[in-house]
Amino acid sequence: MLELKNIVYQVEENGEGIGILNDVSLVIPDGKLTVITGPNGGGKSTLARIIAGVVKPTSGKIFFNGQDITDMSITDRARLGIGFAFQQPVRFKGIRVVDLIRLAKGEKKLSSSDACKYLAAVGLCAKDYINREVNSSLSGGELKRIEIATVLAKKSALSVFDEPEAGIDLWSFQNLIEVFDGMRKNIEGSSIIIISHQERILQIADEIVLVKEGKIDCQGTCDEILPKLVGTESAVKSCGVIDLWKGGDN
């Protein structure tokens, strides 16, 4: 179980502290797929980076299975079983796709055909990619899918995916939903957090957490939260639509 207690994250801008996360307390239960959603800029990726240890909270504590991990590095958290797929994946020059999967799986001798299974799961034709270098020649969607494949290979106790759908085409997206649904059915003692804006992903959630303006707006089961989110007025509407095409500024 992951527990965040009174997490505050502030950044300095012009000598002033700006609150990105404002007193966030959250419990991510075991054996569940939790989807974190909410408006752009609400603080979801910051929350994910705090869970993975990429950034440290200004104050507050994080516990993983009862252990205080607040001051632990990314590597130590990964050793404890926290796997993370970034919203914008990192490229690793000189490293091949197969090496990344072997590294994630922790088996240097993992056969190429076994490594290929993870690429196939995210809809990549494995033989075309397995020996490619993880560099800028890969498209955004390819890179994203390779990163998801590495998190699948890790089989972490807690897997965190930040907007896995970003840059993924419609055909692969369908495949991805099936992958997450399969993970959920075989979740046993582990847990999954997916940060997403997609209704299709929200529909397979056990729990939904709405993050808004650096706070938890609400949390509950899919049945409780989803009806509140679907069909509500869009953020743009509530701010007033600016009609760019009227050309009123001439």
User: How many angstroms separate the Cα of 137 from the Cα of each of 86, 92, 123, 133?
Assistant: 19, 11, 18, 8
150 is in the binding site of which of Mg ion, ligand ATP, none (Cβ under 5 to 8 A by kind)? none
Within a 10 A sphere around the Cβ of 90, how many other Cβ atoms? 8
11 is in the binding site of which of ligand ATP, Mg ion, none (Cβ under 5 to 8 A by kind)? ligand ATP
Pick the binder of Mg ion from 34, 37, 45, 172 (CB under 5 A). Answer: 45
Q: How far is the CB of 17 from ligand ATP (least distance, A)?
A: 11
Q: At what angle do helices 97-105 and 112-121 cross, to 10 degrees?
A: 90
Residue nearest Mg ion by beta-carbon distance:
45
Structural contact between residues 90 and 49, judged by C-beta atoms closer than 8 angstroms: no
Q: How far is the CB of 138 from ligand ATP (least distance, A)?
A: 21
Rg (CA), the chain: 19
Between 11 and 125, CB nearer to ligand ATP: 11
- Contact set with ligand ATP (CB under 6 A): 11, 20, 40-46, 87
Q: How far is the CB of 68 from Mg ion (least distance, A)?
A: 26
Q: Count of H helices and E strands in the chain?
A: 10, 12
Q: Which stretch binds Mg ion (CB under 5 A): 37-45, 67-75, 126-134, 141-149?
A: 37-45
Residue 191 binds Mg ion, judged by CB under 5 A = no
70 is in the binding site of which of ligand ATP, Mg ion, none (Cβ under 5 to 8 A by kind)? none
Which pair of structure tokens corresponds to residue 158? 């807690």
Q: How far is the CB of 99 from ligand ATP (least distance, A)?
A: 29
Q: What are phi and psi of 27, to 5 degrees?
A: -120, 125
Q: How far is the CB of 68 from ligand ATP (least distance, A)?
A: 23
41 is in the binding site of which of Mg ion, ligand ATP, none (Cβ under 5 to 8 A by kind)? ligand ATP
Q: How far is the CB of 2 from Mg ion (least distance, A)?
A: 18
- In the block, residue with structure tokens 């009609």: 243
Burial class (CB in 10 A: 0-12, 13-18, 19+), 18: exposed
37 is in the binding site of which of Mg ion, ligand ATP, none (Cβ under 5 to 8 A by kind)? none
Dist. CA 129–CA 116, nearest whole Å: 9
Structural contact between residues 216 and 209, judged by C-beta atoms closer than 8 angstroms: yes
Instruction: Give contact residues for Mg ion (rule: CB under 5 A).
Output: 45, 87
